[in-house]
Amino acid sequence: MSNGGGMKLKILFGSVILTVLSLNGFAEDEGLKPAYDAIKVLRPGEVSFKNDVQPILHDYCVSCHSPGGKGLAKSGLDLSSYEGIMKGTVYGPVIVNGNSELSTFTKLLTGTNKGLKMPMGLNSTGTLDRQYILTLMKWVQQGAKNN
């Protein structure tokens, strides 16, 4: 009887561990797509284009998405200025105001579109820093202001 109890305990313990492990796995996959709640707690207040967004773009995007860069050459997207971002690619806007899920600008940071992921070149090594992704997403959700 006491053995059976021990067995049950072991099974229970085992399934708790399995559950925790699978929850972790789930959290990691979903982690690439920050939820709205995470964006809210990232930092109180408004994201600033000049102080928060532009430094990220400058370090990770502008080398290709500015005159002379292959990103601008191939897609028409100039990320070196607010006006350029708003203009988008030769196919149209990359920002759907207030919706970071629908905006190509932020969508390509967390997932691929026809194999394309940004910043290009980071594809093999992973993703842009999570904090940066959240900052860019939050900026789009707050209306992509030139602030």
Binding site for ligand HEC (CB under 6 A): 60-61, 63-65, 70-71, 74-75, 77, 89, 91, 94, 104-105, 108, 113, 116, 118-121, 128
Q: How far is the CB of 52 from ligand HEC (least distance, A)?
A: 13
Q: How far is the CB of 70 from ligand HEC (least distance, A)?
A: 5
- What separation in angstroms does the CA of 48 have from each of 91, 106, 131? 27, 16, 14
* Nearest CB to ligand HEC, comparing residues 5 and 114: 114
* Nearest CB to ligand HEC, comparing residues 3 and 146: 146
* Nearest CB to ligand HEC, comparing residues 71 and 84: 71
Q: How far is the CB of 116 from ligand HEC (least distance, A)?
A: 6
CB 74 within 8 A of CB 120: no
* Nearest CB to ligand HEC, comparing residues 42 and 108: 108
Q: How far is the CB of 82 from ligand HEC (least distance, A)?
A: 14
Q: Would you give the DSSP letter of residue 137?
A: H
Report the distance separating Cα 73 and Cα 94, nearest Å: 16
- What separation in angstroms does the CA of 25 have from each of 54, 55, 129? 33, 32, 19
